[in-house]
Amino acid sequence: MNKVVTFGEVMLRLAAPGFVRFGQSGVLNATFGGGEANVAVSLANYGIPVSFVTRLPKNDIAKACTNELRGLGVDIQNIVYGGERMGIYFLETGAVSRASKVIYDRANSSIAEIQPGMIDWDKVLDGARWFHWTGITPAISKGAADVCLEGIKMANKKSVIVSTDLNFRKNLWKYGKTAGEVMPELVEGCDIILGNEEDAAMALGIHPEGVDVTAGHVEAEAYRSVSQQIMKRFPRCKKVITTLRGSVSANHNSWSGVLYDGKNLYQAPTYQITHIVDRVGGGDSFMGGLIYGLLTYADDPQSALNFAVAASCLKHTIYGDYNRVTIDEVEKLMKGDASGRVSR
């Protein structure tokens, strides 16, 4: 059984409509999203049994969130309840040379106040094939970091595959510990690691050897160097993956990815995403596609990577955090059909 468990914070997302600025709009569109919840929704779309674990308050906003997740096919029975509030983030979508802006309001959220022992990881991971977390979760609070470590250790004990997206967010590490002090112990238990060279440097203290990443572009050897160092330091790790985003403008990005398995460095095709609808959740949609790809194309890393890149390319055309695309749509793009012609 390919059951996947993800753990992290889901937030209320309040976005200014279209491309207007916060000060222009008297209306904010309310949806939900958060790294590990986004991954869970992607996997549910692909028919993978997936359970999302978090801590939420018992109120109507949290109920609306769990109802939506349930409706999207995500198992919510392992969510625990307590605390007073959900985290919130505000989004202003950029255009052309004006970048998008995110403002967080997540201090003292229910999951920020989570403590060890609140989640029965033995029960949650019973029958699971895969456990996923991101570097955002241990940045929230010491309690969240400790509970994440509990989950990783139990997954290791049960021989469950563990993946992480390093996702370094400097503005979240505010409780007295740095990413460099917390992340290595968590990453030690991981089999699959996603992260770019900045994530590796800030979270793990690992830098490319013999490569100048400030030269205006990054050579493939930089990713090989970082990947080899990660695998040497964390011997449990079997694959290191990096997303490759080129930002021409807020509306036009190039998009690809590389995967290193200890021997070979695979690179996916590069897509030009010229009219971005919503790039928030792009990395999470990549991770969701990657987990599906590695479970489905177990002996074909290239196809797994290509699926992840194509899936996340399509996410940039979907409003909201969640990637609401099908396997058929992803495979169509993988085969080279980027025409966008009406499907009748």
What was the pLDDT predicted at 278? 87
CATH code for the domain of 68: 3.40.1190.20
Residue 261 domain-assigned (yes or no): yes
Residue 341 domain-assigned (yes or no): no
The tens place of each residue's pLDDT in the chain, 344 residues long, gives: 689 999 999 999 999 999 999 999 899 999 999 999 999 999 999 999 999 999 999 999 999 999 999 999 999 999 999 999 999 999 999 999 999 999 999 999 999 999 999 999 999 999 999 999 999 999 999 999 999 999 999 999 999 999 999 999 888 999 999 999 999 999 999 999 999 888 888 999 998 776 554 554 556 677 888 999 999 999 999 999 998 888 899 899 898 999 999 999 999 999 999 999 988 989 999 999 999 999 999 899 999 999 999 999 999 999 999 999 999 999 999 998 766 665 65
What was the pLDDT predicted at 342? 52
d(CA 233, CA 222): 17
The string over 101-127, giving b where at least 16 C-beta atoms fall within 10 Å of a residue's C-beta and e elsewhere, is eeeeebeebbbbbbeeeebebeebbee
Domains held by the chain: number: 1
Residue 301 domain-assigned (yes or no): yes
What was the pLDDT predicted at 232? 96
- Pairing outcome for strands 130-134 and 161-165: parallel
Helix residue ranges per DSSP H, the chain: 35-45, 60-71, 121-124, 137-140, 142-157, 179-187, 197-204, 220-233, 282-296, 301-315, 327-334
Residue 147 domain-assigned (yes or no): yes
Residue 144 domain-assigned (yes or no): yes
What was the pLDDT predicted at 213? 47
Domain range for residue 151?
Answer: 4-334
What was the pLDDT predicted at 245? 87
The pTM of this model reads 0.94
Query: Residues 199, 166: contact at Cβ < 8 Å?
Result: yes
**Facing residues of 102 across strands?**
91
Nearest to 93 by CA among 12, 13, 16: 16
d(CA 258, CA 253): 17
